[in-house]
A and B are shown apart, each in its own frame.
Chain A
């Protein structure tokens, strides 16, 4: 019969946790980021809206500025830059990567505003020299990268592969410009588009040595009754897309369902919320994160020691937010060996993804000591 690493039955989330009897442990080996040099402040963006909006976006969301691509940069270059940075922080070579998954919402290349075929992952693996890797693209809105980690976790735990990379390049600031052309008031469904920023991120997931810490649990559920609360499709205002979000309803639905999902996943792994040293949630707005975590604490009766918010300097970088934030905390040596980090995805769908990992020696490859 099949193995028993899963949480079925009786669990809402489709989840995986290591079983020392049944398979290999799995851990994040390294994280890489490519932030474009260009910066756009919120005041500059809001000064260029077509209509006079009177929206105090920075006060409302906490976004002071975001990185934006410069000429010649796109989803492919951001993804490739992040993949190279990830390898630079890893002991693995590109030739060790057995599977490469590209998970970005945007897939712009030099010639296309959104490339469909071949998959972007093929271009990335060729660019970094991981030519032997199995590749495909995966699309799961802002939960894309964590979904990629979920996929790799299973392949590694069964011993089918020992090392894989998840990569994403988000050239998504175009949505902000398209929204700025149309937005009229605080109640516009395009308000969330104004918080978006560009970034590339990559993560190498590998087989953990026997007994070494790694990914403690990872689980996902799709709350499809709320599937239409955030939609994006090609714009008629300019290149790229337009995104329409019913933010308040999305936040309310997410908080309502996320609490029992968190209890479900943490309960399966025997972890208490108070055991979490750093909670890294999807970066939508500082206010929404504060409200959400306060509600988690109220309902679960415990809080993580730290909640990571880096939206002030990066904005919402879509599928890359979790790993951009983790990379920053590794570089700043704020997370230490033995710390427990929770990554919390919230994405259109509604997709809820939860991963808890224990940080190991990878911290030694970041910061000034590296």
Chain B
């Protein structure tokens, strides 16, 4: 018995006019709920794990806006029904797995019965000084409880702060130069993303180390992993990771081309690709792996085997 993926959806903004993080998250959430045959009002907990937004709004949480847009228990529910609780979680590219960790626990406790995770990012360098780290994409993942499978049971997180300066981002204030102009602002906050050379390679090395320790703790070998779901999908990360772990290509969920550049949605995009190919359904032990700034490595083992069954 464990937390089970009821549905996932990932989408890119191809053809959209001025995509926003909010619209991307909304669209992914609606598609995900439709695939699961669920109503928005069924959702007890909604966590947004996206990072880069067009307006860099500080409050409210984007999750509350998504809750409003999809119509999940906006006000006082009818007698006997339940409400929805929403908040944002920020852990860069690792946010989805952190959110799964929290929701799987709350499902296990019976505190919630259905959890929705949304992610979305838009290009943080829209004013000309960003990076090609992010392309506008959105994702959603719906988690429920299943007595028939072990589901999400084991998680592992490691940070490598010696590499914390390899990827940094944030807003910096730029005062406007020139003479005073009525109604013109005094300046603006600009998003600065700084990715140092070698970041992706260090991510792969850290991921390999952390994966070894995680599997060692579980008494498993990499050969017992039927499907590796990695993020990011950048070749300089993924190729090095595959070689380092010794995982053949047919056991890796490669993100579809149209979702290349997915940032916080990366793990969902890879999962979705595996679902489409049918490999997710066939896999007994699925290892979700995400690496982000910090360097932070998050891992989740998803077992589609009966509870208590041996891992392989």
- Partner-B contacts on A (CB < 8 A): 1-16, 22-23, 105-107, 109, 111-119, 122-123, 126, 131, 134-143, 147, 151, 154-155, 157-158, 160, 220-225, 227-228, 230-239, 241, 243, 257, 260, 347-351
Q: Could you tell me the dominant secondary structure of chain B's interface residues?
A: mixed
Interface flags, B50-93, vs A, CB<8A=1, else 0: 01100111111101110110001111110011111111111110
Flag if B186 contacts A238 (CB, 8 Å).
yes
B44 part of interface (Cβ distance < 8 Å): yes
Q: How far is the CA of A119 from the CA of B107 in the complex (A)?
A: 26
Q: How far is the CA of A195 from the CA of B159 in the complex (A)?
A: 38
B147 part of interface (Cβ distance < 8 Å): yes
B296 part of interface (Cβ distance < 8 Å): yes
A residues in contact with B111, CB < 8 Å: 5-8, 14-16, 154
Q: How far is the CB of B134 from chain A (nearest CB, A)?
A: 11
Q: How far is the CB of B77 from chain A (nearest CB, A)?
A: 6
Stretch at the interface among B98-106, B213-221, B253-261: B98-106
Flag if A138 contacts B88 (CB, 8 Å).
yes
B residues in contact with A10, CB < 8 Å: 80-82
Flag if A114 contacts B82 (CB, 8 Å).
no
Q: How far is the CA of A5 from the CA of B209 in the complex (A)?
A: 37
Flag if A139 contacts B189 (CB, 8 Å).
no
Interface flags, B190-232, vs A, CB<8A=1, else 0: 0110000000000000000000000000000000000000000
Q: How far is the CA of A143 from the CA of B292 in the complex (A)?
A: 26
| Choice from B76, B113, B186 contacting A237 with Cβ under 8 Å | B186
- The answer to whether residues A131 and B90 also contact, given A238-B173, A349-B61 and a CB cut-off of 8 A, is no
Flag if B83 contacts A222 (CB, 8 Å).
yes
Q: Which of B51, B87, B113, B188: most chain A Cβ within 10 A?
A: B87
Smallest CB gap from B70: residue in A: A224
B residues in contact with A230, CB < 8 Å: 59-60
Flag if A224 contacts B90 (CB, 8 Å).
no
| Choice from A22, A239, A243, A257 contacting B75 with Cβ under 8 Å | A257
Q: How far is the CA of A158 from the CA of B110 in the complex (A)?
A: 11
Q: How far is the CB of A214 from chain B (nearest CB, A)?
A: 16
- The answer to whether residues A141 and B60 also contact, given A1-B147, A221-B83, A238-B173 and a CB cut-off of 8 A, is yes
Flag if A140 contacts B61 (CB, 8 Å).
yes
B1 part of interface (Cβ distance < 8 Å): yes
Q: How far is the CB of B72 from chain A (nearest CB, A)?
A: 7
| Choice from B72, B86, B90, B188 contacting A236 with Cβ under 8 Å | B188
| Choice from A3, A119, A222, A243 contacting B85 with Cβ under 8 Å | A222
Flag if A114 contacts B170 (CB, 8 Å).
yes
Smallest CB gap from B108: residue in A: A2
Flag if B293 contacts A1 (CB, 8 Å).
no
B residues in contact with A155, CB < 8 Å: 105
Q: How far is the CA of A155 from the CA of B293 in the complex (A)?
A: 24
B167 part of interface (Cβ distance < 8 Å): yes
Q: How far is the CA of A148 from the CA of B199 in the complex (A)?
A: 30
Smallest CB gap from B94: residue in A: A136
Q: How far is the CA of A141 from the CA of B52 in the complex (A)?
A: 17
Q: How far is the CA of A136 from the CA of B155 in the complex (A)?
A: 14
- The answer to whether residues A154 and B105 also contact, given A8-B112, A119-B92 and a CB cut-off of 8 A, is yes
B residues in contact with A106, CB < 8 Å: 58
Smallest CB gap from B167: residue in A: A117
A residues in contact with B57, CB < 8 Å: 231-233
Would you list 5 pairs from A and B whose C-beta atoms are within 8 A, ordered by A residue?
A9-B81, A114-B189, A119-B91, A136-B95, A228-B60
B187 part of interface (Cβ distance < 8 Å): yes
B294 part of interface (Cβ distance < 8 Å): yes
Flag if B1 contacts A118 (CB, 8 Å).
no
A residues in contact with B189, CB < 8 Å: 113-114, 234-235, 239
Q: Which of A23, A230, A236: most chain B Cβ within 10 A?
A: A236
| Choice from A123, A137, A260 contacting B76 with Cβ under 8 Å | A260
Flag if A349 contacts B82 (CB, 8 Å).
no
Q: How far is the CB of B22 from chain A (nearest CB, A)?
A: 11
B residues in contact with A238, CB < 8 Å: 173, 186-187
Flag if A8 contacts B82 (CB, 8 Å).
yes
Flag if B171 contacts A118 (CB, 8 Å).
no
| Choice from A139, A233, A350 contacting B87 with Cβ under 8 Å | A139
Q: How far is the CA of A220 from the CA of B52 in the complex (A)?
A: 26
For the complex of A and B, list the 4 residue pairs with the smallest distance between their C-beta atoms, beginning with the closest.
Answer: A236-B185, A112-B170, A6-B111, A225-B74
Flag if A225 contacts B68 (CB, 8 Å).
yes
Flag if A222 contacts B294 (CB, 8 Å).
no
Q: Which of B51, B90, B108, B188: most chain A Cβ within 10 A?
A: B90
Flag if A23 contacts B109 (CB, 8 Å).
yes
Q: How far is the CB of B167 from chain A (nearest CB, A)?
A: 6
Q: How far is the CA of A350 from the CA of B82 in the complex (A)?
A: 16
B residues in contact with A2, CB < 8 Å: 1, 107-110, 113, 145
Q: How far is the CB of A131 from chain B (nearest CB, A)?
A: 7
Flag if A141 contacts B61 (CB, 8 Å).
yes
Flag if B76 contacts A12 (CB, 8 Å).
yes
Q: How far is the CA of A220 from the CA of B108 in the complex (A)?
A: 18
- The answer to whether residues A8 and B186 also contact, given A117-B51, A122-B296 and a CB cut-off of 8 A, is no
B residues in contact with A13, CB < 8 Å: 83, 85
Q: How far is the CB of B2 from chain A (nearest CB, A)?
A: 9
Flag if A224 contacts B105 (CB, 8 Å).
no
Q: How far is the CA of A232 from the CA of B234 in the complex (A)?
A: 34
B39 part of interface (Cβ distance < 8 Å): no
Flag if B110 contacts A224 (CB, 8 Å).
no
B residues in contact with A231, CB < 8 Å: 57, 59-60
